[in-house]
Amino acid sequence: MKNFESVGDYLKVSHPDIPVLCHRPHAARRAAAWFVKNFPGDVLYAVKANPSPLILDALYESGIRHFDIASLQEVELVRHYKGVRLYCMNTVKHPEHIRRMYFDYGVRDFSLDCIDELDKIVEATQFADDLRLHVRIAVDNSHSCLPLDKKFGVPASEAPELLIRARRHSEELGVCFHVGSQAMNPQAYAQAIDRANHLISKAGVIVDSLDVGGGFPAAYPGMDPQALAEYVRVIDDAFNTSRTTENCRLRCEPGRALVAESASVLVNITLRKGKWLYLNDGSYGGLFDAAHMNFPFPMVAMRDSAELRDRRSSDFSFYGPTCDSIDAMKGPYPLPAGIRAGDYIEIGQLGAYGDTLRTNFNGFGGREEIVVRDEPMLSMFAPRVPAPLSEKTVPQSNIIYIDV
C-alpha cells in the first residue's frame, strides 16, 4: 500500500476514477494508546467498526489485547495476535458458530440476553465448566445519537432470573450493557451502572465483571461531546461507589471512538445538477452512515491537488453512483459554491463503519487504498494544532481536541 504525506500529495501523481480509502493508522494508534492508558479496566475493540488488518495491527501495537468478535470471520482476523482474549459479545449466535468458537478457537466469553440463548450456549459447548458468560441488560439509550436498545438486552423484569441461571453455568459471570452509539452525555453510563447494580442486587448473585459497552463519542461536525476524560471519570466514580460490583473487573467496548479518525474517503464528482452532486461513492459504498443515519461528516473540496478555496459557500446534497434513487445523501453539506464536475471531495471521520459496510451493488464496490500521514480533520485525541486544519472548509468551531 502506497504512502503519502497527504491526500493533496496523492492527487499530484494520480487522478482516480474510483473512491480512495485514505488510512491514518497513526490516528488509531493514538486513540488506542489513550484508552489503554486512561480507562481503568480492560479495553475491548469491537472489530466490526473497522476490520482492516492495517488498523487492527495499529491497535494491537498500541496495547489492545481484548477483541469483541461477532462471527467466525472476525475470529480469523484477530486470532493470530499473541496474548489476546476474544469475546463473542453478539447476543444471538448460531449453535454451530458457538461450538466452533469454543472448541476450535478457544473462545470462552459469550454474551446473552435470554434463557433460550443461555441454553443454546450450554448445549453447544457440551455443558462446559469454564464458560465466562455476560448477561446483557437493557438500559436507557436516550442520550445517544444512534439508539441500540430495540434489538438486544434483557428487560429488567426478566434479568434477575437470567442472572441466577447464568451464574450456575459460569466460571465467571459478567454483566454488560450498551448506552447507544455516539452517547453525548457521560451520565448515561452512570445511570446504566446504577441499573446494573440494582438488578444484580435483586438477583442476589456475585458477578465478576461489568462491561459498560461502547458508545464513546467520536468528533463530528455539529456534535459537541464532553472530553473523553469526563466519560472515564463518570464511569470510574459510578463503578467505585457501587456495592454489587465491588470485586468486579471493569471493561469497555469502544469501536467508533477508537477508529473514526483513522480514515477518510476521497471521492470524485461526476456531475453537478444544481445543488445535487453526483459522486463515485455513495450509500452502498463508504457513505452508508451519511445516507441512512444522516450522520454529518467534515469535508474538504479539492481541485487537482489543491484545496478548492471560495469565499462563497453553498449547501449541497449527494447522489451515489448506482442506478438506485435511494442512493442519496441529503445533507446539507456546505461546500464551495463553485464546485464542479471533476473536482474531488475528501470526506473525513470514516474510519468507523465506512469501508466495512461497502458493497459491490451495481458493480460499484471498487476502491483504492493508500496511507496518509497528515492529521484527521477532527479529533478527540490530537494535541491542539493551528493551521493547516483551521484553514480547511470545516468550520473551526467543529474541530474538537483534547490535550494529550
Residue 382: which pLDDT band, with cuts at 50, 70 and 90? confident
> Binning pLDDT at 50, 70 and 90, where does residue 384 land?
low
Looking at the predicted structure, is the pLDDT value of residue 403 above 60? no
Mean pLDDT of 9-36: 97
pLDDT tens sequence across 243-278: 777 789 999 999 999 999 999 999 999 999 999 999
Per-residue model confidence (pLDDT) at position 68? 97
Can you tell me whether residue 404 is helix, strand or coil? Answer: coil
- For the chain, the average pLDDT equals 92
Q: Given pLDDT bands bounded at 50, 70 and 90, which one contains residue 147?
A: confident
Q: What percent of the chain has pLDDT over 90?
A: 85
> How far apart are alpha carbons 378 and 94 in whole angstroms?
39
The confidence band for 146, taking pLDDT boundaries of 50, 70 and 90, is confident
Query: With 90 as the cut, is the pLDDT of residue 87 above it?
Result: yes
How much is the average pLDDT of 303-331? 93
Please give the domain boundaries of the chain with CATH numbers for all domains. 3-22+260-398 (2.40.37.10), 26-259 (3.20.20.10)
Q: Check residues 234 and 145 and name the one with the higher pLDDT.
A: 234
* Sign of the Cα pseudo-torsion (112, 217, 145, 295, in order): negative
Residues 6+ apart with CB under 8 A from 241: none
Task: For residues 156 and 158, give the distance between their C-alpha atoms in angstroms, rounded to a whole number.
Answer: 5
Q: Is it the case that residue 2 has pLDDT exceeding 70? A: yes
When pLDDT is cut at 50, 70 and 90, the band that residue 293 belongs to is: confident
Name the nearest CA neighbour of 10 among 346, 366, 310, 261.
346
Q: Given pLDDT bands bounded at 50, 70 and 90, which one contains residue 140?
A: confident
Above 50 in pLDDT, residue 393?
no
pLDDT for residue 239 is more than 60: yes
Res. 235: pLDDT tops 90: yes
State which amino acid sits at residue 101: M
Per mean pLDDT, which range of 3-7, 178-182, 357-361, 381-385 is the poorest?
381-385
CA-based radius of gyration for the chain? 22
User: What is the predicted pLDDT for the residue at 151?
Assistant: 87
Give the pLDDT band (50/70/90) at residue 385. very low
Q: What's the pLDDT at 145? A: 82
The pLDDT tens digits of the residues spanning 348-369 come to 999 999 999 999 999 999 999 9
**Taking residues 194-209, what's their average pLDDT?**
95
pLDDT in tens, 49-64: 999 999 999 999 999 9
Instruction: Give strand pairing partners of 209.
Output: 174, 249
Confidence of residue 118 (pLDDT cuts 50, 70, 90): very high
Percent above pLDDT 70 for the chain: 95
pLDDT value of residue 404 = 37
Number of residues that make up the chain? 404
Mean pLDDT for 39-48 is 97
CA triplet 180, 182, 187: central angle to 5 degrees?
70
Coil, strand, or helix at residue 179? coil
pLDDT category at 289 given cuts 50, 70, 90 is: very high
Give me the mean pLDDT over the 292-319 stretch. 92
For residue 104, pLDDT over 90 is answered with: yes
Cα 328 to Cα 70: distance, rounded to the nearest angstrom: 29
| Cβ-based burial of 236 (10 A; exposed 0-12, middle 13-18, buried ≥19) | middle
Residue 389 has pLDDT above 80, yes or no: no
pLDDT at 380 over 60: yes
Contact 344, 269 (CB under 8 A): yes
Task: Choose the weakest-confidence range: 13-17, 189-193, 221-225, 277-281.
Answer: 221-225
